[in-house]
Amino acid sequence: MCGIVGYVGERAVTPLLLEALEKLEYRGYDSAGIALVSDGGIEIQKTRGRIADLRRIVESAGDSGCTVGIGHTRWATHGEPSDVNSHPHLSKSGRVAVVHNGIIENYIELRAFLSAHGYEFSTETDSEVVSELIDYCYSGDPVAAVRKAELQLRGSYALGIIFADFPEQIIALRKDSPLIIGIGENENFIASDIPAILKYTRDVFRLDERELAVLSKKRVAVFNELGERVEHVIEHIEWDAGAAEKGGYPHFMIKEIMEQPEAISKTVAPRIDANGDILLGFKSLSDEDLKNIDSIKLTACGSAYHVGVVAKHLLKKWLDIPVEAELASEFRYDDPILNERTLVIVISQSGETLDTLYALREAKNKGARTVSIVNVVASSIANESEEVLYTWAGPEISVATTKAYSTQLVLVELLGIRMAQLRGKLSDCEVKELVSAIKCIPSGIETILSDVQTMQYVASLYFNSQSVFFLGRNIDFALSLEASLKLKEISYIHSEAYAAGELKHGTISLIEDGTLVIALCTYRPLLDKMISNIKEVKARGAKVIAIINEDDIQTGTVADHIIRIPECGEISAPSLTIVPLQLFAYYIASLKGCDIDKPRNLAKSVTVE
Ligand code: M6R
């Protein structure tokens, strides 16, 4: 999704903005631009394409000498990626320039209103109404103009705003879209995410909902929606900028795949005490509350939703209560039945996915208890949920999630096991066994990662496939969903995940000579049935890669290739099985020469509905 940066200080602003925007490239974008302000007014440079294209334009224009400006990477929603639709948007009067992340839902209405007052529009975007509306509301006081304009805005927005009349300040405002403020010495920053400004400052805070910040080089003043001054606790970022660099790997995705053993250890270790008991550290949800929960809903988007689908099977078995996984984008529109005995578990790497945030708010409005599983500390979802369990996976830059997925999975497992123990559904001894199996996951993944050549080889046989089918039953089906998403999002190969028993109800007509089928066969209770399903597709000409348990001696006799998953306890299988499939997707995309970390049309943090 769109990325915003802004700087006010003493440095040359143009190279700083370009560099900061490069650090937000992972979010996904199709055009970029900057607006600089000085006594001479506001100057805009923007273009469709990459930041390298913008850099060429900016460099050919020569040094601006400016030290205040805003920048933007746009992920097109309203209007095609084009020079004119790119941000920043400058009001026709030349007085106000705006960068926007989010969607102005009532922009058609606002356009009509402003047009009736003589304003003209040159783009197809929803964002252009913001610069014109602020201009319309402006009569000398920038903060008053922004607040007056905001009263008319419906939708989500993080905004960076500059005024030609006030060349030494930036105004920032947010609702439902993230925005952080960075504090420096004689300089201050705004950004959509920390890596953009980490080179310059480690002292940051997140703007809260509907807060407005006025940044000058010497100070940052923040006001809540009532206009009251608010103070924020400044967070000092400990992680190194290197954590957001590739560290010798060709792509962030492979680096993050390789980081999974360590990331999982960091998620799990602090939550297990010396006796092997699980510590969740909840402040609001007491043990008694957890005992009283009589149903669970897991809600999330994309891969985080797939974690929910795996967890649904496990939690239902351990807790013996109804557990459902629901797409966050559907959740609040489906009139969910929730009450104070429902636990809604919200899962999100970024903590900013708008659908997931809205699902969380729906759950809270209906009185449900809420726990979020989040990677980005102090993100909106983390802040708004009743309890938060952080995955502590470190920054995940690749659009295709890997280590966040894996850490979310172990964390939701720990939550489920603890609840089952409290409710007397798992004995202390069973809990200890499950916990020690979870602790073995990092070494199991290390074993898989010590032999990436096998997946590289298999990928080299199939990277020209037109279509791939992933089959599985029960948890293996849940994992198929994730494996299929991973492949299609980065390699652009059409792929589908099917519950293996469902294939013959229609989809098997797509299987023909040479079609690649990846059969996940780690769920022991249904192995015989999976073997029958493999035979069915083989009989129609499919080539089959089977992912099997280490001790499986049957499946290898029917599949074309087998990938063995090391044995370390039933609960570990989902965490291990996904790893070769992440590698498969990665190597296929690499052989196809795809832009692996920034797949076309995708964004890392999806901050629009
Ligand atoms: O930040 P979130 O975990 O809320 O993001 C949810 C999805 O957008 C995300 O998992 C997406 O599906 C990934 N690109 C998958 O690799």
Give nearest CA residue, ligand 1 atom 8. Answer: 302
- Give the long-range contacts of residues 183-188, CB within 8 A, separation 24 or more: 183/220, 183/234, 184/9, 186/9, 186/10, 186/217, 186/218, 187/7, 187/8, 187/9, 187/10, 187/11, 187/217, 188/7, 188/8, 188/9, 188/215, 188/216, 188/217, 188/219, 188/220
* Count of domains for the chain: 3
| φ and ψ at residue 558, rounded to 5 degrees | -110, -20
Does the pLDDT at position 471 exceed 90? yes
Annotation marks residue 2 as catalytic? yes
433/522 same-domain check: no
Which of 401, 606, 608, 609 to mutate to test ligand 1, by most ligand atoms within 8 A of the CB atom? 401
Residue 123 located in a structural domain: no
Residue finishing a domain among 421, 449, 477? 449
Give nearest CA residue, ligand 1 atom 4. Answer: 348
46/65 same-domain check: yes
> Does the C-beta of 356 come closer than 6 Å to ligand 1?
yes
Ligand 1, residue 405: give the atom nearest the CA.
Answer: 10
Q: pLDDT grade, residue 242 (50/70/90)? A: low
- Can you name the residues that pair with 157 across neighbouring β-strands? 102, 176
Ligand 1, residue 401: give the atom nearest the CA.
Answer: 16
Residue 433 located in a structural domain: yes
406/526 same-domain check: no
Say if CB 536 and CB 503 are below 8 A apart: yes
Give residue 568's pLDDT.
74
> Does the C-beta of 603 come closer than 6 Å to ligand 1?
no
262/296 same-domain check: yes
Reported as a single tens digit per residue, the pLDDT across 302-320 is 999 999 999 999 999 999 9
> Does the C-beta of 530 come closer than 6 Å to ligand 1?
no
> Does the C-beta of 156 come closer than 6 Å to ligand 1?
no
326/390 same-domain check: yes
CATH of the domain at 197: 3.60.20.10
282/360 same-domain check: yes
18/80 same-domain check: yes
Does the pLDDT at position 432 exceed 80? yes
Ligand 1, residue 302: give the atom nearest the CA.
Answer: 12
Annotation marks residue 66 as catalytic? no
CA–CA–CA angle 220, 385, 381 (5° rounding) = 55
CATH of the domain at 516: 3.40.50.10490
541/434 same-domain check: no
Catalytic residue among 2, 137, 440, 594: 2
Residue finishing a domain among 208, 242, 276? 242
What range defines the domain where residue 299 resides? 251-449
Pairing of strands 543-549, 516-521: parallel
Could you tell me the distance, in angstroms and rounded to a whole number, from the CA of residue 331 to the centre of ligand 1? 16
CA–CA–CA angle 104, 110, 116 (5° rounding) = 160
> Of the spans 142-156, 229-243, 496-510, which averages the highest pLDDT?
142-156
Could you tell me the distance, in angstroms and rounded to a whole number, from the CA of residue 212 to the centre of ligand 1? 28
**% of the chain at pLDDT higher than 70:** 99
396/529 same-domain check: no
> Does the C-beta of 572 come closer than 6 Å to ligand 1?
no
What global pTM score does this model have? 0.81
Q: Calculate mean pLDDT across residues 396-411.
A: 96
Say if CB 138 and CB 162 are below 8 A apart: no
Residue 147 located in a structural domain: no
> Does the C-beta of 489 come closer than 6 Å to ligand 1?
yes
> Does the C-beta of 299 come closer than 6 Å to ligand 1?
no
